[in-house]
Amino acid sequence: MQSSLEPDTLRQTQACPAPDATTPRLEPDTPAAATPELVYDLRQPDGCSDGFYADVARFSDEVLAGIEQHAAAVLDGYTRHVQLFLRETRRSRGEYAIELLTLGQVLRRYGGAAESTPRWIVQLARELFGMRRSSSLMKPVADRLRAVVTRYFLMSRIGRKATGELPFPNGLPRLIEWLHATGEFEQEAMRLHNWRSFFDTLSQQEATHSIETATELFDWFECEADRALGPYTSGVRDFLSGEYAWRGCREDQVFCGKEPAEYHLCMVAAEVMNRGLRAEFERTAKKAILVPTCLRGVHADTCRAVFSGVDITCAACDPACTVNRITRRMRGLGAMVYLVPHATGFSRWLERWKAAPQYGVVAVACLLNILPGGYEMRARGIASQCVPLDYPGCMKHWRRPGIPTGLNEDRLVQIGTGSRP
């Protein structure tokens, strides 16, 4: 794909065409043919995700080049600010570019909701989220209340265009509070705190220009990503108009209600963040692989995984189980494999690896967990890499009934053993 990010292109993206309904599907005899309702599928069009990794690498190069062309001065200023004033360990230029795109994405998608949601609702949502995290006994009650608040007061406002009554960057604190209140954007909100700090050092005109640059870049990204990566997310809109629309009140409404562009941003973020952390990861002497329990096979209900503190390891009880196969393969290459029950347990796991700098950690996760997970590992100083699941299938978020998920195991071996993909 040839990049179309010419000097005037950023202001022309509103005319982006709708997704092509003729996007090729897998042939009937491919693994995904039996599950056409997959929300995303990295195995398009031939049943293998190798093509996706080639596509996302090429597109990431175009994205980084486009951001550099149009926002080099913004990135220069922000890089100096976080290193000299916030004393943050240096990150790659690409990672700061992804942050700028993330800023544009949340402004476009959630800025109007943050502006129009009453402050007491935001405060209530934050308190309920804090309750679910602080008390396992109160978690079911908190989640039920959060589901109602989210459906009727937060989700109903998502996608609204900001009126300008609370202009950005002055409205950025309110947006950050709204993101925290959803419980789905903690890591992104923390990065936006840094951008807010940077904007406070600029004149109003300079800060406004930076905000406009971020939103215009995201508009461009949204259109170009749909062309480059859209075939891999062709199931998102069917999911949103079908299964998702009939669910009613659930605490994961914001997480599952994301648009294709948000999946595409996670795809590019995974590629760019892996590049930024690659050298540090390769210097670690040991490797740990964290895999989600949704990778287990059809006998997941009778899984005899071994628990030892926070460690959950495979007991090899099911010869057909993907976790069993990965464990044997990675153990032969000198890496240990651990299961993580759910994304909510991820932070607890990371405390261990933060205290073990000799380990490089590879996290396998659903695509929408890649960006926040990468930010969190980065913030904790963990030398990490990430590998997205080829498709989602857990019953908690995506499917009734759930199905075992899968990933590109060769890619995992390349990443997890320190060899370059």
Helix (H) or strand (E) holding 287: strand 286-292
Q: What is the pTM of this model?
A: 0.89
Gap between the Cα atoms of 230 and 225, Å rounded? 7
- Residue 299 burial class via C-beta count within 10 angstroms: exposed 0-12, middle 13-18, buried 19 and up: middle
Do 405 and 390 form a contact (C-beta atoms < 8 A)?
A: yes
Mean pLDDT, the chain, as a whole number?
A: 86
- AA letter at 308: S
Residue, of 358 and 394, whose pLDDT is higher:
358
Residue 37 pLDDT exceeds 50 = yes
- Residues 249-258: what's their mean pLDDT? 89
Q: How confident is the model at residue 396 (pLDDT cuts 50, 70, 90)?
A: confident
Q: CA nearest 314: which of 334, 298, 290, 287?
A: 290
Q: What is the pLDDT of residue 387?
A: 97
Determine the Cα angle at 360 with ends 357 and 361, to 5°: 115
CB 161 within 8 A of CB 112: yes
Number of other CB atoms surrounding residue 150 within 10 Å:
28
Evaluate if residue 7 carries a pLDDT over 70: no
Instruction: Return d(Cα 364, Cα 248) in angstroms, integer.
Output: 29
- Does residue 186 carry a pLDDT above 80? yes
Closest CA to 166 of 96, 110, 245, 92: 110
Residue 203: partners with Cβ closer than 8 Å, 6 or more residues away: none
Is a pLDDT exceeding 50 seen at residue 132?
Answer: yes
The answer to whether 337 and 323 have CB atoms below 8 angstroms apart is yes
* Predicted local confidence at residue 247, as pLDDT: 82
Q: Say how far residue 272 (Cα) sits from the centre of its chain.
A: 12
User: CA–CA distance from 229 to each of 20, 54, 153, 224 (Å)?
Assistant: 12, 11, 32, 8
Give me the mean pLDDT over the 232-247 stretch. 90
- Single out the residue of 103, 141, 146, 99 nearest to residue 122, CA to CA: 146
pLDDT average, residue stretch 68-87: 97
Q: How confident is the model at residue 363, as a pLDDT?
A: 93
Amino acid letter, residue 34? A
Q: At residue 124, does pLDDT exceed 50? A: yes
pLDDT tier for residue 4 given thresholds of 50, 70 and 90: very low
Burial of residue 326 (CB within 10 Å: 0-12, 13-18, 19+) is buried
Residue 319 CA to residue 301 CA, distance in Å, equals 15
Q: Is the backbone of residue 123 left (phi > 0), alpha (psi -120 to 50) or beta?
A: alpha
In percent, the amount of the chain with pLDDT more than 70 equals: 88
pLDDT at position 349 over 80? no
Q: Which pLDDT band holds residue 415 (cuts at 50, 70, 90)?
A: very high
Domains of the chain, earliest start first: 47-266 (no CATH), 283-416 (3.40.50)
Tokens of 127: 């308190």
Cα separation, 352 vs 361, whole angstroms = 11
pLDDT tens for residues 93-122? 999 999 999 999 999 999 999 999 999 999
CA–CA gap between residue 297 and residue 304 (Å, rounded): 12
Residue 23: predicted pLDDT: 34
Looking at the chain, the whole-number percentage of residues with pLDDT higher than 90 is: 62
The answer to which of 51-60, 86-95, 162-171, 403-412 has the lowest mean pLDDT is 162-171
